[in-house]
Amino acid sequence: MTTGTEGQRYAVVTGAAGCIGSAVVHEFLRRGLVVHGLDRTPATTGDRYFAHQVDLSDRADTDRALEKLLAALPGRCDVLVNNAGVSRLRSFGETSDQLLDDLLEVNFIAAFRLTRALLPVLKASSHAAIINVASELALVGQPGYTAYCGTKGAVLAWSRALAVELAAEGIRVNAVCPGPIDTPMLQAEFATAAAPHLARQEEVASVPLGRLGRPEEIAAVVALLASPEAAFVTGAAWAVDGGKTSQ
């Protein structure tokens, strides 16, 4: 079991090895938190960072990881960031049941199950915060992303309902909705286009601030929502998209 002082804060971050996840981990460590990171990519445990390898699309593997995670926490979790997510570009008619199941499992069901399992240790915190990473596509539609939009919309609706239900427990719940962020996942989506360079240019042109976002900009908002400075913020959807969804 991790040992800590009364003032130490403990965070759990899923998708911790990805661009946004690793930026969140880095920001939390910079702020002095002890972080437990969950990801299917192996990682090294270091100073105040504890890596847990898990495939969140596999419920049995997730349950095994949760058992180890709960044993590693000091009976308390102060911050939970449900960041893990997957995206696939498919037309609605070409979206198979398997693809829909895959996106639902990682983007929504894993977050739901993980949060439910960690609820007792979140309740043990005097200032717990849950931040769910949704997407700009939880707010607006886009062709080729019907399944992704549906799963991220579920994350947003669930976040709002959970915020109301857990308010009496003193647990805040907010959603962050990133716009186009310069990550390998977005680059992979550009690569599927007939003209990848043009696809990137069009995406940038759709953002009023005129550029793609950076992972550390998402991490800064997540860290704010996890902090005491956001003590009166719950049930909110924070669009971090350079103004894209405001048009």
Q: Would you please indicate which residues are annotated as catalytic (active-site) residues? A: 148
What DSSP string describes the chain?
-----TT--EEEEESTTSHHHHHHHHHHHHTT-EEEEEESS----BTTEEEEE--TT-HHHHHHHHHHHHHHS-S--SEEEE-------B-GGG--HHHHHHHHIIIIIHHHHHHHHHHHHHHTSSS-EEEEE--GGGTS--TTBHHHHHHHHHHHHHHHHHHHHHGGGT-EEEEEEE-SB-SHHHHHHHHTSSSHHHHHHHHHHTSTTSS-B-HHHHHHHHHHHHSGGGTT--S-EEEESTTGGG-
Q: Based on the number of CB atoms within 10 Å of its own CB, is 159 exposed (0-12), middle (13-18) or buried (19 or more)?
A: buried
